[in-house]
Amino acid sequence: MRQFRSAAALFRPRSIAIVGASESGGAGWPRAIYQNLEHAGFPAALYLVNPNRTELWGRPVYPNLSAISAPVDLALVIVPAEASAAVLADAAAHKVKCALLYAARFGEGGDDAGAARARAVAALCARTGLRVSGPNCMGSLSLRERLLFYPAPRVRGLPAGPLGVVFQSGGTFQYWLQQAATRGLGFSYAVSSGNEIDLDLADYVNFLVEDDATRAIACMVEGVRRPDAFMAAARGALAAGKPVLVVKIGRSEQGRASTQSHTGALAGDDAVFDAMCARHGVIRCATLDDLIDTALAFMPGRLPNGNRVAMAGVSGGAKGLFLDYAAEAGLTFAKLSPETLSAVAALIDPGVKPDNPLDTGASVANRPEVFGKVCRAMADDPAVDIIAMQGQLPLAPDEPANPTPFVHVAGAGKPVLAYGRLAQNVTDVGRAFQTRTGVPFLQGLPETARALRALIDYAQRTRRGIAVLPAPAGKPENLAGDALDATLAAYALPPPRSVRVSKLEECGRAAARIGFPVALKIVSPDALHKTEIGGVALNLASADAVTAEAARMTERLRAEHPSARIDGFLIQEMVSGVELLAGVREDPQYGPVMVVGLGGVLVEALGDVALRLLPIDEAEARDMLDSLRARAVLAEFRGRPARDVVAICRAIAGLSRFYLDHRTWLADLEINPLVALADGVRAVDVRMVERR
């Protein structure tokens, strides 16, 4: 089976049939859609279908699709759920390419009859090749083609443009488009994808990736039905330089549960979804407003070459707030050169410090040209990769508004965002101004900080590309005991050092080679329960202590079992350091993932973990450690030396390779603790679960 099904007949049909056409039936939807087509001058051939009439709106009405002599690309099926099966059978028989199914009650909310209907549709699609969009949806919009299959006139004002839109939530679909248009976005294609019985998120994204007019893709997602196809579409999007932006429900358990019952789509593990997004350059937006602001930020098509942000405004308070939001978003500010700082100092208010982020002082607020020069000086600094400058769209035609500063700053060739400190009204005048400047005007300081982060992360992913999973090796012959230890050590996951000696008198020297303190165990088939006869000693601090303890163990054992055989002694280093957890498993949706955390038994309760898709190299391992809240314990901490972070990163990357090489037989692997020392790491406890 091919990975993607074509949505071409949905978005670019040359002939359309409205099934269920009537003046007032279908809650007025057939009529509303007809009027949208009429308003657009009927951009495609149109047929009406209704078995109960012969004429409507001055057109002939056909009893069914098969009765239409011409081919029909797309059937808009506006009939109750119960009647849809017959219509789809008719559509398939007539070689209709795609059916857009609006009705609800196809199994969402857990009703059995609906679920059966959905299964029947899926089977029909598989059998006949008919494509279905929906059901339980609000239709689709092809803005350039002027095909508005949405049951209300209010979508007519939406502008064509470069943003493709896929919303699983029909209720929010049009509302979001309206506000996005108010803010200055325009759309190529937009679809409310509903229950996705056939065409799904991955198919639509793939269509938009292949569509020349689409430059970015905005999605609202409740669940990803085909994770592999979605990841493939995301790979295609990255390769095509088209950012995919997603608002996804399900950060909370309650949100996930609600989604599951609402759409029947598997919500999955939200942290794994985040990891998948990070890996594939998919931008996850926090709110529906962010989806607009971040889409705007991507519109000029410029990406930063690095992560160094410059920011300039005319308010000290806003600068302080922005620093707080920037810290939350993990932004890094560029260190401006002395030349830039003195150029800036010459332009801003006396007594105000040239700095980044910059507050110019109040007087610059009324001198836009000066503000433009200040920002341009910052943007020209080689240390700056991206700049955010304060800016506000004019509301009314008579409002003084000067596009020059923004055009001037954009002239530096780097990405520029204008930001307002609050949400505010946007009018025709504002949109025209925004277009004239060529700079996107964002609203809100946290939203701006997050959009900067999105541009930086996406650009980095564009440069790094998406790592692919290598083929697994076969099952090695023996992976237990010493063989496992040796193999793990070869993957940078060494166990605690240990030496086995056969004679009591060798103990001291062996312990000295390992380094003190050490643990000592007697090796004897007659001392299976070592603790009972005192056959284990911990924290021995000198060669003498080791030898003496080995002698005492021998005595005690002989006292219990005069004939006991003693094979020797095991001397092992005492591992004491910072405890990490590192585990790999196969996520049912997105494949092998690794979780890394700090803090022994508390890791789970705290949720202070980093989670990434495999493969993970040392650079990404470093990112994982940096993302932990408790990362401070890896540096010098409370008088203890810094931990060997290089060795930890090698161990994480090694664990990634080990799992991928052995994943044909290995299901699950957890090292807990992986102890980080000042020099090296030790995989103290390794737990593996084989596949069944």
Binding of a copy of itself by 82 (CB under 8 A): no
Q: Do the Cβ atoms of 309 and 470 come closer than 8 Å?
A: no
Q: Which two structure tokens, joined as six digits, stand for 382?
A: 């080689």
Q: Which element (helix H / strand E) includes 327? A: helix 316-329
Q: Do the Cβ atoms of 526 and 564 come closer than 8 Å?
A: yes
Nearer CB in complex with a copy of itself: 57/333: 333
Nearer CB in complex with a copy of itself: 264/654: 264
Q: Pick from 15, 64, 133, 259: which binds a copy of itself (CB under 8 A)?
A: 259
Q: Which amino acid is at 107?
A: G
- DSSP label at residue 352: P
Q: Pick from 56, 321, 370, 686: which binds a copy of itself (CB under 8 A)?
A: 321
Binding of a copy of itself by 352 (CB under 8 A): yes
Q: Which residues of 229-254 are buried (b: 16+ CB within 10 A; e: fewer)?
A: bbbbbbbbbbeeebbbbbbbbbeeee
- The angle at the Cα of 244, spanning 261 to 74, to the nearest 5 degrees, equals 70
CB count within 10 Å of CB 347 equals 18
Nearer CB in complex with a copy of itself: 52/425: 425
* Alpha carbons 500 and 510: distance in angstroms, whole number: 8
Q: Which of 286, 248, 288 has the alpha carbon at shortest distance from 270?
A: 248
Binding of a copy of itself by 345 (CB under 8 A): no
Q: Pick from 350, 481, 525, 639: which binds a copy of itself (CB under 8 A)?
A: 350
CB of 631 to a copy of itself, least distance (A): 8
201-220 residues in contact with a copy of itself (CB under 8 A) are 220
Nearer CB in complex with a copy of itself: 135/592: 135
Binding of a copy of itself by 444 (CB under 8 A): yes
Binding of a copy of itself by 320 (CB under 8 A): yes
Nearer CB in complex with a copy of itself: 38/253: 253
Give Cβ neighbours of residue 637 (< 8 Å, ≥ 6 apart): none
Give Cβ neighbours of residue 325 (< 8 Å, ≥ 6 apart): 445, 446, 448, 449, 450
CA dihedral 604, 605, 607, 608 (to 10 degrees): -90
How many Å separate Cα 195 from the centre of its chain?
A: 22
Q: Pick from 30, 162, 446, 535: which binds a copy of itself (CB under 8 A)?
A: 446
Nearer CB in complex with a copy of itself: 139/243: 139
Binding of a copy of itself by 35 (CB under 8 A): no
* Alpha carbons 179 and 288: distance in angstroms, whole number: 10
Nearer CB in complex with a copy of itself: 203/289: 289
Q: Pick from 56, 288, 484, 686: which binds a copy of itself (CB under 8 A)?
A: 288
CB of 341 to a copy of itself, least distance (A): 15
Binding of a copy of itself by 425 (CB under 8 A): yes
Q: Pick from 6, 35, 305, 427: which binds a copy of itself (CB under 8 A)?
A: 427
Q: Which stretch binds a copy of itself (CB under 8 A): 316-324, 549-557, 566-574, 609-617?
A: 316-324
CB of 488 to a copy of itself, least distance (A): 25
CB of 214 to a copy of itself, least distance (A): 22
11-30 residues in contact with a copy of itself (CB under 8 A) are 27
- The total number of residues written for the chain in this structure: 692
CB of 366 to a copy of itself, least distance (A): 8
* Alpha carbons 687 and 480: distance in angstroms, whole number: 11
465-524 residues in contact with a copy of itself (CB under 8 A) are none
For a copy of itself, how many residues bind (rule: CB under 8 A)? 92
CB count within 10 Å of CB 417 equals 23
Q: Which element (helix H / strand E) includes 410? A: helix 404-410
153-172 residues in contact with a copy of itself (CB under 8 A) are 167-172
- DSSP label at residue 47: E
Q: Which two structure tokens, joined as six digits, stand for 569?
A: 């002694």
What phi, psi does 599 have (nearest 5°)?
115, 20
170-189 residues in contact with a copy of itself (CB under 8 A) are 170-172, 175-176, 179, 182
Nearer CB in complex with a copy of itself: 35/315: 315
Q: Pick from 43, 63, 109, 591: which binds a copy of itself (CB under 8 A)?
A: 109
Q: Do the Cβ atoms of 331 and 386 come closer than 8 Å?
A: no
Binding of a copy of itself by 269 (CB under 8 A): no
Binding of a copy of itself by 42 (CB under 8 A): no
Q: Pick from 252, 342, 502, 539: which binds a copy of itself (CB under 8 A)?
A: 252
- 3-state DSSP assignment of residue 251: coil
Binding of a copy of itself by 80 (CB under 8 A): no
Q: Pick from 253, 339, 532, 544: which binds a copy of itself (CB under 8 A)?
A: 253
581-640 residues in contact with a copy of itself (CB under 8 A) are 598-599, 601-602, 604-608, 629-633, 637-638
CB of 176 to a copy of itself, least distance (A): 7
Taking only Cα atoms into account, the Rg of the chain, rounded to an integer number of angstroms, comes to: 32
Q: Which of 329, 279, 621 has the alpha carbon at shortest distance from 462?
A: 279
Q: Which stretch binds a copy of itself (CB under 8 A): 284-292, 376-384, 549-557, 584-592?
A: 284-292
Q: Which element (helix H / strand E) includes 621? A: helix 618-626
